[in-house]
Amino acid sequence: MPAPQKPVLLTGASGNLGRVLAPALAAQGWTLRLTDITPFPDALPAGASFTRLDLSEGLGVARLAEGCGAILHFGGISVEQPFEAVLSPNLRGLYHIYEAARREGARVLFASSNHSIGFHERPQGNEAKIDVDCAFRPDGYYGLSKAYGELMGRLYWDKHGVENVNLRIGSCFPKPVNARMLSTWLSFGDLTRLVTAAVEAPRSGHCVIWACSNNPATFWGRDHRDRIGWQPQDTAEDYRTEVGHILSGDPVEERYQGGGYTSIEYSRSAPSPRDPFALD
């Protein structure tokens, strides 16, 4: 398919996933505006420019987004951190992204996370997998910020008609490294194809997609991928022999879909109920 006619803004360009997407999308002929709070560590791809920017600078975000048809929002804190560290980049920064998108009529691709639902228990046996309309059950302040981000997209679609695609990313690495990732792994190739489909789709509305590869062991069920025409091509199953025996040994981590993030500062004496609103 042809490259987008308008420039595309990519935040978090210096992060792990930004560094994957920038050269891959540039190779497809996209005109990219890259930004991050830290310098871009690689050679700048053809057709790309880079601006160093803090997402808390609303005017700077607005200027970078001028004329853009899409904003790929991969910026902000990308791991579990104390609330005060997460607050400005992940909440205030996201507001600036959506305000810029509203002014420009741009579509937002938001790098959400499985950690927005991390305290759902892993399905056992023939138990049903959870769909994207499940209750948010964040497993930390980072996951909480991702739930906020998805709700921001919901608000801006309902109130302003800003289209947004929320990529609920599982574990995006070169390959799976433990048994959990047989369920959550997203290959770099599938990430690039997902972003491409989300930008090029004629319409998206407000949608949420389980961003994982074609993994038979996935925790997750229905989503809105048909709306943008994306189907993953890779699978974690190719690595089962290599990593299927690698467990954490932590019963909290192994119980919940969010893995290791759920056990950070965990202080309950007994697990919370499966029903998010039940008392026991």
Residue type, position 177, single letter: V
Q: Rounded distance, CA 40 to CA 162, Å?
A: 29
What 8-state DSSP symbol labels residue 108?
E
Q: Which of 141, 142, 156, 239 is catalytic?
A: 142
Cβ count within 10 A of residue 279? 5
Q: How many CA atoms lie within 13 A of 248 on its CB side?
A: 15
148 belongs to the catalytic site: no
Structure tokens of 67?
A: 């004329």
| Residue in 113, 151, 134 with CA at minimum distance from that of residue 275 | 134
Picking from 11, 24, 48, 33, the residue whose alpha carbon sits closest to that of residue 192 is: 24
Residue with tokens 């992940």: 90
In sequence order, which residues have a C-beta less than 8 Å from that of residue 177 and are 6 or more positions away? 243, 246
Q: What residues act catalytically?
A: 142
